[in-house]
A and B are shown apart, each in its own frame.
Chain A
Amino acid sequence: MATRSVIAPRVRQFRLPRGIGFLLPALILVGSITVVPVVRIVMISFGDGLANYQELFQSGVFWSTLRITMEISVASTVMCLLLGYPFVYLITSFRESVTRRFLLVVVTTFWISLIVRVYAWMVILGRNGIVNDALVSIGLVDEPLDLLFNRVSVIIGMVHYLLPYMILALYGGMVGIDRGLTVAAQTLGASAFQAFRRVYLPQSLPAVFAGSMLVFILATGFFVVPSLLGGPGEMTLSVFMERQTFFLNWGSATSSAVLLSAVSIVLFVSMDRLVGLDKLFGAVRR
């Protein structure tokens, strides 16, 4: 017994956890539908060396598409933040049971198909839609406006879809912030605004960062909304890639996909550095 107990811990380190076999089917499934395609995409994009990338860099279409994608994504993220932050700030100040009810309403939007929601916007924003009808009938405009198939309609559709993600991400980080601290700040002489800006806001930044990153990355690769609500001049990278695969331009499609991922990763890392997230998280962790 004595010798075994001395040796056993060292041996155990190299042994696979018991029952690992049960994980295999799941591992194989997840691996084959996520890891393998990603690896294949990267391999195809470098199929002719750097030729695909050279071609992409030289085409004006790619650059304008990338710029439009980034602009739309940033605008959608900022809009989601501006709408989501006050909402979460408010509902986290309520009793927990009330907060839960509000969150349930937010989650409910996931139950409605995205396609249905996008078509709903087409009806609402169309030339004979409710918005134009209202504007014309109150005499604000003489004839219906072109509200559809432009950048505004894309952003409206994106925000509509992405806002629940932003709210859930913000909620996860903001629910744990002690509201008593802002009260304490006020007893120390801070105005309500100073207490918010110097005590609450800094503590909510990790949640803001997490939510913004989630929404931004979802936005850059988003296809349904830009393709249905966007106009011909508003082609995003996802739509661009879809066109390329349609014409079997695999090299062009895969290399833009790799570049989009690279841009997202670079942005994520540089934002992380900029905000100094490690320090923030470290300080907030109690």
Chain B
Amino acid sequence: MTSPSPPVSDRRHSPDNDGETKERRGAEIDLISLTKIYDAGKVHALDDVSARITPGEFVTFLGPSGAGKTSVLRLLAGLEFPARGQVLLNGRDVTSVPPQRREMGVVFQDYALFPHMTVYQNCAFPLQVRRVHAGTIRQTVDAVLNTVQLSEHGDRYPAQLSGGQKQRVAIARTLVYEPQVLLMDEPLGALDKNLREHMQLELRQLQQRLGVTCVYVTHDQDEAMALSDRIAVMRDGRIEQMGSPRDLYRAPHNDFVAGFFGKMNFIPGAVAGSDGENVYVDTRLGPIRVSRELARLSSGSLAVDTPVTVAVRPEKVSVAASTPHGTAVNSLGLTVEQIRYAGASIYVDGVDHTHGMRVVACVPPESNDIRTGEPASFHFLVENTLVFERGPTDQPEAEKSE
């Protein structure tokens, strides 16, 4: 075996002892300037993607379809090779190592279970091709099936399993050879909502218990938030931003990342001026002040009349049933168009009919002096206001739906 880890048989002395498996550590992964080109140079599937993933970390590559997230996974798995760049595993260059010698566990979107083998045979397969001793195989597979709670189903064929069970078999099959890295391509995509949330929890617990480095690919931002230590948001083959779910939510680097997580109000405008503390933006809804610290603008973009986008989360907007005071900062006078109840909170849609613009506020339900069709003041604090350069791509919608 070319694996940097000791052989399977040596490491699982007592398969039933969960405590013992804790000492195992996942591998460190370095992606260095990965570039992948399709269609004779026309399409950059990946454009200079670099990232460092620390041992035992759960990292999600998130993005719309075609963003290149699956390409990252395929390069990691050795199913594709980059035009430029390197993949390092524990500091060792594995860029051109074929998949069967990378010792990574890949969970495919459609699970890729072998239909002619039982659950047990599917899980024994990786050990059999490694010529592991038959007794060890039985012990290991039994233990792993126990871990994913499928001991009773060893004799079944994949066709006889539910989606969630298939998914667990797919994971169990990769766990038997104790890979240092687990790669997962939308493994929960085919499951219904309740089961998906349940599996997210199981997946996270399993990953933390085993200490394996996990690289996950999804287009579902809620799933990414729930599972990940860090998220890499991808668009057009590039990593737009990589950070913890909290960072991405609170301090997005650009309007794309801002719009990708949760809901966000976007108000287009232009720079009116700036001083040491604040940036002043003119919008059609009125002047808006943004703290210099939070402004994601290059110094060149501070020039007057630079098109920018102001962004504020609905839950940072408060609503009062009055027209704003003339000198109030970041207070917009709008007409309440609609009040939507969402359990613990209510959404208030404020609209400016002359400009056809809308701002959404998420407020506690006791704000019951607000009436539909009446004017109200929508206020947000300077420290909760973000501003981005307006990208060359189309403007995000005023409110991002979930």
Contact = CB atoms under 8 A, between A and B. Distances in A.
A187 B77 contact: yes
Interface string B143-160: 000000000000001110
A280 B112 contact: no
A187 B116 contact: no
Contacts of B106: 184, 187-188
B125 A188 contact: yes
B249 interface: no
A73 to B, nearest CB: 29
A280 to B, nearest CB: 7
A187 B125 contact: no
Interface in B85-134: 98-100, 102-106, 108, 110, 112, 114-117, 125-126, 128-130
Contacts, number: 70
B177 interface: yes
Contacts of B125: 185, 188, 190, 198
Nearest to A205: B116
B110 A187 contact: no
B191 interface: no
Contacts of B130: 189
Contact of A285 (B78, B98, B99, B159): B159
Contacts of B105: 187-188
A186 B112 contact: no
Contact of B79 (A181, A187, A198, A283): A187
A187 to B, nearest CB: 4
Nearest to A280: B116
B100 A284 contact: no
B335 to A, nearest CB: 55
A224 B297 CA distance: 85
B333 to A, nearest CB: 58
Contacts of B158: 286
Q: How big is chain B's contact interface, by range?
A: 20 to 34
A189 B110 contact: no
A59 to B, nearest CB: 47
Contacts of A180: 108, 110, 112
Interface in B155-186: 157-159, 173-174, 177
Contacts of A203: 115-116
A186 B99 contact: yes
A190 to B, nearest CB: 4
A202 interface: yes
Nearest to A279: B116
Given A184-B106, A188-B177, A194-B129, A202 B116 contact: yes
Contacts of A202: 116
B103 A189 contact: yes
Q: How big is chain A's contact interface, by range?
A: 20 to 34
A166 B394 CA distance: 56
A184 B174 CA distance: 10
- Residue of B77, B116, B128 ringed by the most chain A CB atoms within 10 A: B116
Given A180-B108, A283-B159, A187 B115 contact: no
Contacts of A280: 116
A181 B173 CA distance: 13
A178 B100 contact: no
B93 to A, nearest CB: 19
Contacts of B102: 187
A285 B177 CA distance: 28
Nearest to A199: B114
A188 B126 contact: yes
A283 B156 CA distance: 10
A184 B100 CA distance: 9
B125 to A, nearest CB: 6
A190 B130 CA distance: 8
B115 A186 contact: no
B112 A184 contact: yes
A14 to B, nearest CB: 37
Given A190-B100, A284-B116, 6 more contacts: A186-B99, A187-B77, A188-B100, A189-B103, A189-B177, A283-B116
Interface of B: 77-79, 98-100, 102-106, 108, 110, 112, 114-117, 125-126, 128-130, 157-159, 173-174, 177
What are the 6 closest A-B residue pairs judged by CB atoms, nearest first?
Answer: A184-B112, A187-B106, A188-B126, A190-B129, A187-B99, A283-B116
23 contacts: A180-B108, A180-B110, A180-B112, A181-B112, A181-B114, A181-B115, A183-B79, A183-B99, A185-B129, A186-B98, A186-B100, A187-B100, A187-B102, A188-B100, A188-B125, A188-B129, A189-B126, A189-B129, A191-B100, A280-B116, A282-B157, A283-B116, A286-B158
